[in-house]
Amino acid sequence: MRNPFLGAAAAALTIFSVASKAGSNDAASWDPKAAAAYLDQRADWWAGWPTSARDHDTHCVSCHTALPYALSRPALRSELAENTPSAPEKKMLDGVIKRVRMWSEVEPFYPDEKRGVPKTAESRGTESVLNALILVNYDAHKGTLSDDARLALNNMWALQLQSGDAKGAWNWLNFHNQPWEADDSQFWGATLGAIAAGTAPGYASAPDVRDHLKLLAAYFQRNFDSQSLMNRIYALWASAKVPDVLTADQRKSVVSDLLAKQRPDGGWNTASLVVSTWKRKDDTPFDANSDGYATGLVTFVLEQAGVSPTDPAMKNALAWLTHNQDKHAGLWLAYSLNKQRDPASDVGRFMVDAATSYSVLALTGAK
């Protein structure tokens, strides 16, 4: 069922008109309650959108809406004095757990029979990593690893590639869309696998897990130098969870490159972080301003890498995030890298969903 919050196009245009002026907002704080409402409403919409539906009454775990939501929504728990997941969270988690438990029975997100080879293999590899990361993230807030999360990790390792140029990584969905389903997104998926393993409470030190991580670290080292800065951001995050995947010099280089890309207003721009040859499919120009996805992601990952919130660059970044939330709608703006989209449409909000989630992670992480 569509959420009233995401209803009429005219209302949505009003929301985004307000948000476009958020840079001039002098408010000294952000609104966690509004952010939670936006994220919950988007998760609720995603679960009711026919295009996201999969077999056994489950849904695709999207890289733009579902995954960032699962990472960020628990971080709001203490801000809102909540003791349990919200209703949309519970529905999302129930669906992920169902697919993990029925792993050998559920149809891939995009089977070969409907989408062509190699979409089954890409779907399985991608989903195995996303499922593990989502369940592990929830367990990390509780401090214990659940049986379902352990099963999801087992599913993930079973699909880790054991030979070839991509040895150590996973098959990954490629629909030629930046920044999560493009030609270079297999590396991004590998970073998420490392983050999942390193986030799981008491898990990464097990001997069999260390063997998998060695393969993963070797993959990182073979491919790190050729990656876009966007992918290296996630590699930096992965190294905060599993230090061996990057060297100290590689970590320092990413931090240095990110700080060099910071804009005078304190934010970052998403398009400036992807491969330089990337162009939108409709040939429209990229938005050139600082945006919520890049700024939220970079700020959060720098926090994970140990950069202090009191560092001048971080203070400017956090100020940008604080001042650029649309306090009425709860969101932060970001724009598609693939084509110009109507910001009043649900699909046009996909990048906004990710932007809002990572902005929440950065602001809660600063505490």
Instruction: Give the C-alpha separation, 92 to 87, whole Å.
Output: 9
pLDDT band at 361 (very low <50, low <70, confident <90, very high): very high
Q: Enumerate residues 6+ apart whose C-beta is below 8 A from 134.
A: 61, 66, 67, 70, 71, 92, 93, 96, 152
Closest residue by Cα to residue 286 from 269, 266, 268: 269
Say if residue 2's pLDDT is above 70.
no
User: What residues are paired with 181 via a beta bridge?
Assistant: 177
356-363 mean pLDDT? 98
Q: What is the pLDDT of residues 318-345, one digit of tens each?
A: 999 999 999 999 999 999 999 999 988 9
2-21 mean pLDDT? 37
- DSSP label of 168: T
CA 327 to chain centre: 22
State percent of the chain over pLDDT 90.
91
69-75 mean pLDDT? 98
- Say how many Å lie between the first and final Cα of the chain, rounded: 36
Say if residue 217's pLDDT is above 70.
yes
SS (H, E, C) 326-364: CCCCCCCCCCCCCCCCCCCCCHHHHHHHHHHHHHHHHHH
- Residue with the larger pLDDT of the pair 8 and 292: 292
- Residue with the larger pLDDT of the pair 359 and 367: 359
CB 171 within 8 A of CB 161: yes
Say if residue 148's pLDDT is above 60.
yes
**pLDDT at residue 28 in the model:** 61
Q: What is the pLDDT of residues 220-241, one digit of tens each?
A: 999 999 999 999 999 999 999 9
**pLDDT at residue 5 in the model:** 34
Say if residue 1's pLDDT is above 50.
no
State percent of the chain over pLDDT 70.
92
Q: What is the pLDDT of residues 14-27, one digit of tens each?
A: 334 434 444 434 34
Say if residue 139's pLDDT is above 70.
yes
Does an H or E element contain 92, and which? helix 87-101
pTM (predicted TM-score): 0.93
Say if residue 4's pLDDT is above 90.
no
**pLDDT at residue 367 in the model:** 86
Q: Is the peptide bond before 309 cis (omega within 30 degrees of 0)?
A: no
CB 58 within 8 A of CB 93: no
Say if residue 64's pLDDT is above 50.
yes
